[in-house]
Amino acid sequence: MLKRLYSSAAAAAATVAATFATSATSAHPFRVAVVGSGPAGFYAAYRLLERLPQASVDIYEALPVPFGLARFGVAPDHPEVKNCQDKFTEVAETQPTRLRFVGNTAVGRDVSLPNLVNAYNSVLFAYGAAHEQSLGVPGEQLPGVYSARQFVGWYNGLPSQAGLNPPLENAEVVTVIGNGNVALDVARVLLCDPETRLKATDITEEAYEVLKRSRVRHVRVIGRRGLLQSAFTTKEIRELVNEPGVTMLPLHERYIAPYRALIPKLGRVQKRMMQVIEKASNAYDPTVPAAKTFSLEYLLSPKEFFPGTTPGLLSATECRINVLQQDDLTAPARAVVTNETVVLPNELVFKSIGYKAEPLLGMDSLGIAFDEIRGVVPNELGRVLVKTPHNGKNEASTPSKSLYVTGWVKTGPTGVIASTMREAFEVADLMVDDVLSGTANTDIKPGYAGVVSEIEASTHPVSWAEWKAIDQAEAARGAEIGKPRVKFQSVSDMLDVLGIKS
């Protein structure tokens, strides 16, 4: 599918190039700053470079290394999902005069957002959702309660999570709150045999050693709504139920009974998922000892976490029991909290309830009223909504023709890399339309030259060539122990490769 989309983009490029060249736009570069080097940012940059022959794109990244969620958010035993990094590398290395990587440079810290906007014809926000949602219940800040974002970042080498080291060697029962794909990644990593599943991957050595010492024997995955509202995909649940040495405990009848008669009426995707779950549930044999187990549990909303007697561990999670309100299969299902509760014994909890973005420093001065509730930049089809004076006193939001947004900071934390690519292409096409229609600002802009002195006064901006030096050093470290790479887990270690003291 990715190849088909790439081909269609390339096929359209020649026609669009001619249109661009004969348009009213002058021959100087159309300069675009992309804030964020994850899949959304790179896919948008790729599309812009394909469709606008005069586009010059600079990608700004707070870390010295690129690729965002593809590097730090994908489970290490899913290397095929990380293959998009190969495409991003190809784009960067085949367009060296038109695509610049500016790493180790945080917009709002090392370069002010208003200055960046003034230096470019267009700015595209693609910095993702790097913060976790909160449950807002008592005990959430206790040691022993972790977010999936922390855990996933830790085993993937995200510098901010280095040293997390959850006490898995002291825990036997874990509760994962949420039932999306990330929740199942967490469950699978906790339950798998690290030596066979993870040793040869790019998981950090620190995480690998902690997981080898783990005593976790049961993982409970809970959701606030019903079985049919599970957010994981069939592929993910099939992988977990087929994990060697791991057994799924029988699904409680109250979870599946309401849907059993409806399975033939379900759509193909939901029907497959239900069949995988029911087959695994029915296969449980209580006479066969199970070394490690997991369970899917539903209609539960955490009410409070309780500390254990051992430092760093919990004793239990109290949950409210929900009832599901749904008129029919096509209507949205709503979980209604009751006064009934249940106490679930567990030593550790991992919250996988979603990510959220936060505003960049300086957005308010540009008239961008960041949506704190949804955690997104307000927009209309990808054009950022900017507040402007209206009738002298009130403010009206209008779509900008120089500020754009894509990825999770536009949509919220939904979708996978393939859907992120499609959405990034759509926003890039919108930017192209604004150029070709003459509504975009096509004045001569300095781009990177207009902000480089400000950046260098604050930090060392890491170039693509310098990232490749870090990349090669990681690969060399990995080759010594049979891994694709051993990631540097701190910014200072990354910069040390370049001979730069942070």
**What local confidence, expressed as pLDDT, does residue 391 receive?**
62
Please indicate if the annotation marks 107 as binding a ligand.
Answer: yes
For the chain, the maximum distance between any two Cα atoms, rounded to a whole number of angstroms, is: 77
User: Residue 208: what are its φ and ψ, rounded to 5°?
Assistant: -60, -45
Two tokens, residue 172: 């036997």
Q: 147 and 22 in one domain?
A: no
152: CB partners within 8 A, 6+ apart? 72, 73, 75, 182, 185, 186
Q: 482 and 368 in one domain?
A: no
User: Residue 368: what are its φ and ψ, rounded to 5°?
Assistant: -95, 115
Please indicate if the annotation marks 180 as binding a ligand.
Answer: yes
Element (H, E) at 402: strand 394-405
Q: 412 and 387 in one domain?
A: yes
Q: 40 and 184 in one domain?
A: no
Rg of the Cα trace of the chain? Answer: 24
For residue 327, CA distances in Å to 265, 270, 332, 337, 494 come to: 15, 18, 8, 17, 55
**What local confidence, expressed as pLDDT, does residue 236 receive?**
97
Over the chain, what is the mean pLDDT?
Answer: 93
Please indicate if the annotation marks 73 as binding a ligand.
Answer: no
Q: Which residue has the tokens 């959702």?
A: 129
At 22, which CATH number? 3.40.50.720
Mean pLDDT of 62-83: 96
CA separation for the pair 405, 417 (Å, rounded): 16
Mean pLDDT of 22-43: 84
Nearest to 145 by CA among 357, 313, 4: 313
230 pLDDT above the threshold of 90: yes
Q: 53 and 148 in one domain?
A: no
Please indicate if the annotation marks 408 as binding a ligand.
Answer: yes
SS3 437: coil
Determine what percent of the chain is predicted with pLDDT higher than 90: 85
Please indicate if the annotation marks 497 as binding a ligand.
Answer: no
CA separation for the pair 158, 149 (Å, rounded): 10
Please indicate if the annotation marks 334 as binding a ligand.
Answer: no
Please indicate if the annotation marks 477 as binding a ligand.
Answer: no
Determine what percent of the chain is predicted with pLDDT higher than 70: 93
Q: How many CB atoms lie within 10 A of CB 239?
A: 17
Phi-psi category of residue 153: left, alpha or beta, with phi > 0 → left and psi -120 to 50 → alpha:
alpha
Query: Which of residues 307, 331, 353 is at a domain's end?
Result: 353
Q: How far does Cα 102 stand from its chain's mean position?
A: 21
At 199, which CATH number? 3.50.50.60
150: CB partners within 8 A, 6+ apart? 132, 161, 164
Two tokens, residue 471: 């990349």
Q: 439 and 363 in one domain?
A: yes
Query: Which of residues 330, 353, 376 is at a domain's end?
Result: 353
- Going by pLDDT thresholds of 50, 70 and 90, the confidence category of residue 467 is very high
Q: Are 56 and 470 in contact (CB under 8 A)?
A: no
Q: 447 and 342 in one domain?
A: no
Q: 306 and 430 in one domain?
A: no
Helix axes 2-21, 84-94, angle to 10 degrees: 30
Mean pLDDT of 144-155: 98
Please indicate if the annotation marks 415 as binding a ligand.
Answer: yes
Running DSSP on this structure, what letter comes out for residue 371? B
Two tokens, residue 384: 């950022």
364 pLDDT above the threshold of 70: yes
- Going by pLDDT thresholds of 50, 70 and 90, the confidence category of residue 256 is confident
Please indicate if the annotation marks 165 as binding a ligand.
Answer: no
Nearest to 408 by CA among 432, 442, 374: 374
338 pLDDT above the threshold of 80: yes
Please indicate if the annotation marks 500 as binding a ligand.
Answer: no
CA separation for the pair 319, 345 (Å, rounded): 11
What is the per-residue pLDDT across 379-434, written as a single tens digit (0 to 9) for each? 999 999 999 866 655 577 999 999 999 999 999 998 889 999 999 999 999 999 99
User: Residue 163: what are its φ and ψ, rounded to 5°?
Assistant: 85, 5
Please indicate if the annotation marks 149 as binding a ligand.
Answer: no
Q: How many distinct structural domains can be found in the chain?
A: 3
Q: In what order do the strands lie in the sheet with 314-325?
A: 300-307, 314-325, 334-345
Mean pLDDT of 140-147: 98
Q: 25 and 65 in one domain?
A: yes
What is the per-residue pLDDT across 93-127, written as a single tens digit (0 to 9) for each? 999 999 999 999 999 999 999 999 999 999 999 99
7 pLDDT above the threshold of 60: no
2 pLDDT above the threshold of 70: no
CA separation for the pair 52, 100 (Å, rounded): 16
305 pLDDT above the threshold of 80: yes
Question: Which structural domain range is residue 169 located in?
Answer: 134-353
Q: 331 and 204 in one domain?
A: yes
- Going by pLDDT thresholds of 50, 70 and 90, the confidence category of residue 328 is low
Q: Are 46 and 135 in contact (CB under 8 A)?
A: no
Bridge partners of 300, per DSSP, are 321
Please indicate if the annotation marks 181 as binding a ligand.
Answer: yes
Q: 220 and 306 in one domain?
A: yes
Query: 24 versus 334: which is more confidently predicted?
Result: 334
355 pLDDT above the threshold of 70: yes
What's the CA angle centered on 158, arms 301 and 1, to 5 degrees?
A: 80
Query: Which of residues 353, 377, 403 is at a domain's end?
Result: 353
Running DSSP on this structure, what letter comes out for residue 60? E
pTM: 0.91
Please indicate if the annotation marks 213 as binding a ligand.
Answer: no
SS3 93: helix
Q: 115 and 55 in one domain?
A: yes
**What local confidence, expressed as pLDDT, does residue 19 receive?**
43
